[in-house]
Structure 1
Amino acid sequence: MSDFFPEEILEKILLRLPVKTLIKSTTLCKSWLSLIKTSTFVQSHLCTTIDSNNQTNAHLLLLSAFSHSKENMCYEHHWLHWDSPEFGQYPKLSNPFPLFSDEIGPRVFGTCNGLVCLESYNWRIRSCSPAVIWNPSILKIVKFPTPPPCFTSTKYLHYRKHQSHGFGYDSHSNDYKVLRVVSLSDDHSDVSRFTTVVQVYSLARGSWRSLSASAVPVDLQAGGSERPDFVNGCLHMLEVRLDVYYDDHHQEHRKRGGDFIAYFNLTTEVFGEIMIPEALRRDDCSRSRYEESLALIKDKQYNPNDPANCGCDIWVMKEYGVAES
């Protein structure tokens, strides 16, 4: 084909091929392999695929399920389905992360550009660690190296650790990154801040690095059921404004406060914050991503006199970073 088409035309043709066909094409000749593997081509193909999917609504949905055998063994099952009214199956997937025991299993903590991040979760001690980045479309897996140890001092021996992980894409450096936040539970030794360590993994570097303590906000705390949401190049977490008070009943200092949204910019690797709308500051809210925007979900209190008026209100930030929007 290269004898009949100019190189720039050939590249435009390859950019429109599906991923599986592209992978087969890398075996045809060295020049195609060299072109398809470049980061520039990969990024261009991703943008072309996203634009095409937005026009045709040809998105794929990842489904995961678990089953138990008579021997009480747990098995994972995964599928990709078309996001369409027919909901047709694309392929059935092999297990990307086999369970090591009944106590340890995988959990999704982030998705971005068709990549899925899984963590290994120990249900017994409620501890988790980043495990793999999985591309279900081409069945490729990248394993994480072990994160640097934190809180190794014997004085932290009896404290329980809480961990939160987020996953996103740094468009400036064309790199995928994982944010790891580790906090100690019920640590009142330093009432001026939470005892928290932050680590960042770079897929391009293939390694972890720890942020300095001065770069970690005093209010940042890991834990909770929600995963950081990736919007506008940042990972977002719902946090509590630090307020120290003395609990007379327990005779100790404690921490409390109102909610705000903390974010971590994956390009600058710096934390910031966004205020919550005034109307929601006294309510319990959860955080989510709505299309390409940041959103807050407020559950309505159940009223037995008005059972139909239940559910939730969804608040969407129209202009990023502006609480009033």
Structure 2
Amino acid sequence: MIKSSAFIHTHLESNHRNNDVQLLLHHPEFDIYSLYRDDDNKDDSRACASSSTFIEYSTNLDNPYAFYAERTGTKTWGSEFVGTCNGLVCIAGKDIDLTTLVWNPSIRKFVVLPKSGVTFCHEYDHREVITFAFGYDRRANDYKVLRRVPCFLGGPLVSCQYEIWSLAKGSWKTLINTANDRHQERDIGNRFFEAGHPPAFVNGALHWLQANVSTWNISIVSFDISGEVFGKIAIPPKAETRKCFDFNRHCVVSRYRESLAFFESCRERRESGLVLLMNMWVMEEYGVAKSWTKLFAICLEGSICRLVGCSKSGEEVVLKLIVDDIVEYQSVNTKTKQVKNFHFDGECSTYYSVMGAFTENLVLLDRPNVFTY
């Protein structure tokens, strides 16, 4: 009974109802993962008015890609975090085949995705241009990986091929691309904004930013996981970041509670020195552009501001700052707008770059052809 799909799904739903959620953080330099308690510091005696801390929950999260690469003799340069959803984590290896894994840390099992039939343009470094995203198809109770492969046509024009892998089917399927109108859109990645961020999985769809290659105006692309169709959402009309080639501004789309959020930071030089202005909008009614509402606007010290993630309650937004070449974290209370110094209680906390909600479950327990490590 414990291996049945019905039991596993019920176990997952039970965890959500009981708010049994931790925070999964990725350390890109050492390529390791850690779990933290998200308890809003209610039991943290060290919490004070000027700072807050998340306590490390578990460090026993050995990266399965390292195990796989060593076992198979794969020549690699490490791996990248793709995303996490309902207790599963997707990882893409930095090897010639971009070996991709779906991993369940709770039961120490992972599945290796088959090689893709879609090739990349060999004139470019495929590790830089091929992108992945990970989400959950609630309608089919299935997990899917979206893979985007661009092929440059000359100048800024780019043609993209998309394919999707299904855990239930165990295979890739090529999609008809309707996301890029006449090859005029390009994803906004690390080349443009100094820091990437996983696509936001909200309302059953993945979301990421694209820019029109003629105007460089920014918009949000959506991909519905169940229907496997693309869409487009306008960014907040009052956002200051309108074009992607403005190196004084940084923007990212993310999840905030159950809603879609848009963050932007811009650098300004004042008499006191360089400051960062941080704005956050939330889409109160999904898909309705008029429902974008500004949640906060704050001023911070530093040269670079990057979003790390949000607490499960949504009351704290964690930011990573570069202040005088030193990494610092700060949190913003979305209710009081209070800014605090922020700490992750752990050995490798200084370099955490991505934080996502993590719920323990039993998915992959009943799957054939999985690795245990």
Q: Does residue 1:258 correspond to 2:200, yes or no?
A: no
* Aligned equivalents of 2:138, 2:252: Cα separation in 1: 27
Shift of 1:263: 0.6
Asked whether the equivalents of residues 183 and 195 of structure 1 are also in contact (C-alpha less than 8 Å), the reply is yes
Gaps of 5+ in 2: 45-54, 190-195, 244-248, 292-373
Q: Deviations over 1:128-150 (max 9, x none)?
A: 82521111112111111111132
Q: Which residue pairs with 2:334 in the alignment?
A: none
How many percent of aligned residue pairs carry the same amino acid? 35
Q: Which residue pairs with 1:9 in the alignment?
A: none
Structure 1 counterpart SS, 2:84: strand
The answer to which structure, 1 or 2, has the higher relative contact order (CA under 8 A, 6+ apart) is 2
* Aligned equivalents of 2:255, 2:285: Cα separation in 1: 14
Shift of 1:321: 0.6
Q: Which residue pairs with 2:131 in the alignment?
A: 164
Structure 2 counterpart SS, 1:310: strand
Q: Which residue pairs with 2:149 in the alignment?
A: 182
> Aligned partner of 2:93: which letter?
S
* Aligned equivalents of 1:313, 1:90: Cα separation in 2: 33
Structure showing the higher helix proportion among its residues: 1
Q: Deviations over 1:232-255 (max 9, x none)?
A: 000112112353xxxxxxxxxxxx
* Aligned equivalents of 2:256, 2:112: Cα separation in 1: 29
Q: Deviations over 1:286-308 (max 9, x none)?
A: 22211211111111322322559
Match of 2:38 among 66, 78, 83: 83
* Aligned equivalents of 1:298, 1:216: Cα separation in 2: 24
Taking the TM superposition and a 5 Å limit, the aligned residue runs for 1:32-71 are 35-53=1-19, 58-65=20-27
Q: Deviations over 1:272-325 (max 9, x none)?
A: 111122212635522221121111111132232255963411111111111111
> Aligned partner of 1:258: which letter?
N
> Aligned partner of 1:94: which letter?
D
TM-score, with normalisation over the residues of structure 1? 0.70
Structure 2 counterpart SS, 1:195: strand
TM-score, with normalisation over the residues of structure 2? 0.61
* Aligned equivalents of 1:110, 1:132: Cα separation in 2: 11
Q: Which residue pairs with 1:119 in the alignment?
A: 92
Q: Which residue pairs with 2:162 in the alignment?
A: 198
Asked whether the equivalents of residues 171 and 233 of structure 1 are also in contact (C-alpha less than 8 Å), the reply is yes
Asked whether the equivalents of residues 106 and 119 of structure 1 are also in contact (C-alpha less than 8 Å), the reply is yes
Q: CA RMSD in A?
A: 2.9
Q: Deviations over 1:68-99 (max 9, x none)?
A: xxxxxxx6544333223351534523331216
Q: Which residue pairs with 1:24 in the alignment?
A: none
Shift of 1:64: 4.4
Q: Relative to structure 2, which stretch is displaced further, 35-44 or 110-119?
A: 35-44
Q: Does residue 1:232 correspond to 2:203, yes or no?
A: yes
* Aligned equivalents of 2:75, 2:224: Cα separation in 1: 37
Q: Does residue 1:282 correspond to 2:248, yes or no?
A: no
How many residue pairs end up in the alignment?
A: 257
Structure showing the higher strand proportion among its residues: 2
Alpha carbons of 1:78 and 1:260: their partners in 2 closer, same or farther (altered >3 Å)? closer
> Aligned partner of 1:140: which letter?
K
In our comparison, the structure showing a higher alpha carbon Rg is 1
Match of 1:272 among 231, 252, 256: 231
